[in-house]
Structure 1
Amino acid sequence: MGPVLPTLLLILAGVLVGGTWSLHKQGAPRGAVVIMALLATLATVGGVLWLLPGEG
Structure 2
Amino acid sequence: MGAALPTLLLILAGVLVGGAWSLYRQGASRGAIVITALLAVLATVGGLLWLLPGEGA
TM-score with structure 2 setting the length: 0.95
Name the % identity.
Answer: 82
Aligned residues: 56
Matched, 1:46 2:46: yes
Q: CA deviation at 1:17?
A: 0.1
The CA RMSD measured in Å over matched residues stands at 0.6
Q: Tell me the distance in 2 between the aligned counterparts of 1:40 and 1:2.
A: 22
Unpaired runs of 5+ residues, structure 1, are: none
Q: Tell me the distance in 2 between the aligned counterparts of 1:2 and 1:53.
A: 11
- The 5 Å alignment of 1:32-43 reads 32-43=32-43
Q: Where has structure 1 moved over 3 Å in runs of 4 or more?
A: none
Unpaired runs of 5+ residues, structure 2, are: none
Q: Tell me the distance in 2 between the aligned counterparts of 1:22 and 1:47.
A: 23
